[in-house]
Structure 1
Amino acid sequence: MKKLIFFCIICLFTSKITAQRAKVSQVFSLGAAFNSGKIIPTFSFGEQLHIGHNYRLAIGSGIRATIFSAKGSTFTGLKSPYLSTTVTPLVSENMFILNAPISAEYQGDKIVAGFNIDLIGLTFGRSKDSLAFNNYRGSTDNLSVKPTQFNFALGSAGSTNSEIYVGFRIREEITIKAGVSFLFTKLNLRSTTNEQITKLGDFGHSMNAIPFINFVFNFEK
């Protein structure tokens, strides 16, 4: 996967060199992923650089927003001493995940196939203290969780959403894409004592290979 990221970055940085043999399109996308009764909306805007024979290969980037509700989702400790500890928000902890993805796509006359990876971004959400714990030693009276703020590729930090898909072009400017999403979300456990906040550790929740569908609108610049 690291090689794929490196390949996409190189293609993006060399776009000016190939501009005379390429074309650029703007892409708008809206859709949702589905898992255990949850609906996870996504919205994105970006640009694609089309290169190669008949412009079949498209390399792109932009901005993607993912909205995730953590209510009832179990988060597991990522580092010692919380590796066996779980935290479950009992009220809705809504995360607004805003990332810059990179993408690579093959485009046929009617069929497209590709992938995208959230590379870097930010997550926004409020602190919540209505929680259920398992295997936690000590008092839970002053504990709360809040989404970790900074995101990096494939959930190595913060929250990211990446996709692998195939699609069908209904019209020249409209494509329906379906595939699987890999969503990684993180919460930070915090303790508040005498108005002093101490960060205790990150807890992660992964949704691997969950189905999604997107409606994509593209317009050549």
Structure 2
Amino acid sequence: MKRFEDIYTERHQDAGWSVVQAATLLAEAQRRRCSSLVIYAALELRMAIEQLIFTIICVAKGSVDDPTVQECRKKDGLFRILDDVTPGYSKRCRFSNALASFYPGIPQVAEWDVRSLKRYYTALSDLCHSQLVILGMAATPEKWDKRISLLEEVYAFLAAGLKKGTGVLTFKGADSVALDLWEKYLNGTISLEDVQQRFALVKPVLDSRRIQT
């Protein structure tokens, strides 16, 4: 019987899948005290973060065109675009929560901590690429414990975030009132408090329309 069978499953382009793989690899690395498995776990965690960053870009932009994809593939391109879209992503999450607060059945959105994603990505990259970091890692308890602690910290951060509701409001088929509020909030014309106050005024009308249709 194979050990840690999930390692042998077909690969998925999904952050959650990579996080599960990393957890299994990390557990086996600790059991065997194997540096190679630590590196593989770090790679999976880094790929999970890449997937999440690209998802944030997609959410912030609403859709992703070919020029954006090509820019993401360039050296440091992913971070450059992430820096550009982060303010819009944060606003979209807050706007989604503002409207969701009127509907108890809709969960609140959990916004990813972009700074932590970038910090962990850099730390994992150092572990994956630097031979000086890897050299003698298993032989020195201090080095081993430090690397394991880092991976456990990153895993805990990602796992906790993935368990939360990180989806955001889609504007596909949205009412023109919501679209108008979003555009005004995005460009800074109105505040989040204004959004809530204005939506509270039109919500009864919107609800009655849904009942009639």
The bucket for the TM-score relative to the shorter chain is under 0.3
Q: Which has the higher helix share?
A: 2
TM-score (norm 2): 0.22
Higher relative contact order (CA 8 A, sep 6+): 2
**Greater strand share, 1 or 2?**
1
Larger radius of gyration: 2
TM-score, normalised on structure 1?
0.21
